[in-house]
Chains A and B, each alone.
Chain A
Amino acid sequence: MDTRDGFEERLRKARERKGLDRAKHSQQGLPGSAAIGFRAGVEVVSALIVGVGIGWLLDRWLGTFPWLFLVFFLIGGAAGVLNVHRLFNPRTRPKDPAEAGPGSGSKDGSSAGGGRRQDD
Chain B
Amino acid sequence: MAVEGKTIDALSQFELAPALGPIGASVNFTQSNLFMLIAAGLILALMHYGMRPAAVVPGRFQALAETFHEFARNLVVEQVGPEGRRFFPFVFTLFMFILFGNMLGLLPFAFTFTSHIAVTFTLAMIVFVLITVVAISLHGKKFLGYFFPEGAPIWLAPIIIPVEIVSYLSRPVSLSIRLFANMVAGHVMLKVFATFIVLLGGLGAVGPFIAVLPLAVNVALVGFEVLVAFLQAYVFAILTCIYLHDAVHLH
Known contacts: A79-B170, A80-B170, A109-B138. The answer to whether A46 contacts B177 by CB under 8 A is: yes
Q: Is the CB of A112 within 8 A of B83?
A: yes
Question: What secondary structure prevails in chain B residues at the interface with A?
Answer: helix
Report how far A47 CA is from B164 CA in the complex, Å: 10
Which residues does chain A contribute within 8 Å of B86, judged by CB atoms?
A: 113, 116
Which of A8-16, A17-25, A59-67, A99-107 is the contact stretch? Answer: A99-107
Give bound CA distance, A96 to B159, whole Å: 23
- Give complex CA distance A25, B249 in Å: 31
Which residues in window 72-102 of B have CB below 8 A to A? Answer: 81-86
Q: Output the nearest chain B residue to A75 by Cβ-Cβ distance.
A: B162
Chain B minimum-CB-distance residue to A45: B177
A109 touching B242, Cβ below 8 Å: no
Are the C-beta atoms of B249 and A110 separated by less than 8 Å? Answer: yes
Contact with A along B152-176 (1 / 0, CB 8 A): 0000000100111011011001100
Given contacts A42-B177, A46-B173, A102-B145, contact A109 B166 (CB under 8 A): no
* Of the residues A39, A78, A109, contact of B163 by C-beta under 8 Å: A78
Q: Is the interface of A mostly helix, strand, loop or mixed?
A: helix
Are the CB atoms of B163 and A113 closer together than 8 Å?
Answer: no
Separation of A39 and B174 alpha carbons in the complex (Å): 9
Q: Does B246 contact A (CB under 8 A)?
A: yes
Q: Are A105 and B142 in contact (CB under 8 A)?
A: yes
- B222 within 8 Å of A (CB atoms): no
A49 within 8 A of B: yes
Enumerate 5 A-B pairs (CB-CB under 8 Å) in ascending A order.
A75-B162, A94-B245, A105-B138, A113-B83, A117-B82
Residues of A whose CB lies within 8 Å of any CB of B are 30, 38-39, 42-43, 45-47, 49-51, 54, 72, 75-76, 78-80, 82-83, 90, 93-94, 96-97, 100-102, 105-106, 108-110, 112-114, 116-117, 120
